[in-house]
Copies of this chain bind each other. A is one copy, B any other.
Amino acid sequence: MAAISRVLSGSPTARSIPAATQERIFAAAQQLNYRPNLLARSLRQGRSTSVGVIIPEISEGYATPILAGIEETLSAAGYILVMLTHHHRAEVLARAQQIFAERAVDAIIAVDTALPFVGPIPTVTVSCPDSRPNVTNIVLNHDRAAELALHHLYALGHREIAIIKGQPFSSETEVRWNAIERAAACFGIALRPNQVVQLEEDLPTSEPGYRATRKLLDQARDFSALFAFNDVSAIGAVMALHDAGLRVPNDVSVLGFDDIAFAGVHRPALTTIRQPLHEMGVLAATTVLKQLGGIPDLRSGTQRMIVEPELIVRSSTLKR
C-alpha cells in the first residue's frame, strides 16, 4: 500500500522505488481502473485541491470574465472552485468563512469583496483596495485610469465633467473617486458638487445608472461630459440622457469603465476605460497556484499587483 500510494501520488519518496515496481503498480492501477479517493486523501492531508472564490454576485459583464479566467486557470491545474456569492450581505460573508473552513479550501480568492477574515491560507483579492497583512491584492492602477479618462475628455475640450460615483458598498468606489479628484486637480478641472452623483441601488443592471443620471440632470445641465463608474451604468446614463432630449456623444460625451463585452456592441459604441478583467482572473488564479506550490515564505507579507487600464475610444467623443 505504501509503495502504491507513493508511486501513484507522485511523491518524491517514490524515487527510491525501482522502475520495475513502478511499472507493475501503474499497470495494475490501469487494469483495475483504480481511482484514488480524493476525499480520503483530503482528510488525511488536510487539503482539498480546491480554492474558495467569493464574489458579490454572478453578474453580467463584470463578474463573468473574471470568473472565467479563474475557472480556466484553476481547473487546468486540477483545482476546483468553491464559489460563493454574498450579495453585499454581511451575514453571508461571515458564513462564507465557515464554509471555506468546512470545505478545507487550500486558498481563497475574493473578488470585489472586502474580506472580514484572513486565515492561514494563501489569500488573493481582486479589486479590493484595502490591503491587509498576508494578502496579495490585485488592483487596477486607478490613478492611471483617472488620468486616461480625464485627459481624454480634457483634450476634447471638455471642462464641465459630471461624475457618477459607484455604490457606497462597492469596494472600489472610494479609491476610484480619490483618483479622479487627484487627476482633476492635475488638469485644473473643477468637480462641482452638483455635477457628482452616486449609484444607489444594489442591482447589476443599468437601472442605477439611469436613476443617477436623472438625478444629475435635475441638479445640473451644464456639463458636456459624463464619466460613469462602469459600463453598465454608462449605458443607463446614455438612456437617461437620451430620454431627456440630449444626444450622445453630440451633446454629452459619455465615458464608461470596465470595457464589458457589450460595450462595443452598444449603440452608441461605448468609449471606456478598459480593465483587463479576464487577465485579472487568470492572474489571481496563477498567483494562488504559485503560493500553493511554492515556498511558504512567499505567502507572507502584503503584496500589491498593479494592473494597467487602457483607454478604448469607440464613439467619437466630440468636442462641445
Contact = CB atoms under 8 A, between A and B. Distances in A.
A13 B39 CA distance: 26
A206 B264 CA distance: 10
Nearest to A87: B72
A82 B103 CA distance: 12
A201 interface: no
A86 to B, nearest CB: 10
A261 interface: yes
Contacts of A68: 57-59, 85
A39 B35 contact: no
Interface in A243-278: 260-262, 265-267
Interface in A5-59: 35-40, 42-43, 48, 57-59
Contacts of A84: 75, 80
A67 interface: yes
Contact of A104 (B38, B61, B71): B38
Contacts of A186: none
Contacts of A63: 64
Contact of A39 (B43, B60, B266): B43
Contacts of A36: 102
Interface string A78-104: 001111110000000000001101111
Contacts of A59: 64, 68
Contacts of A83: 71, 80-81, 83
20 contacts: A35-B98, A37-B102, A38-B102, A39-B43, A39-B48, A43-B43, A58-B71, A60-B60, A60-B61, A60-B64, A60-B261, A63-B64, A68-B85, A71-B83, A80-B84, A239-B265, A262-B265, A262-B266, A265-B266, A267-B267
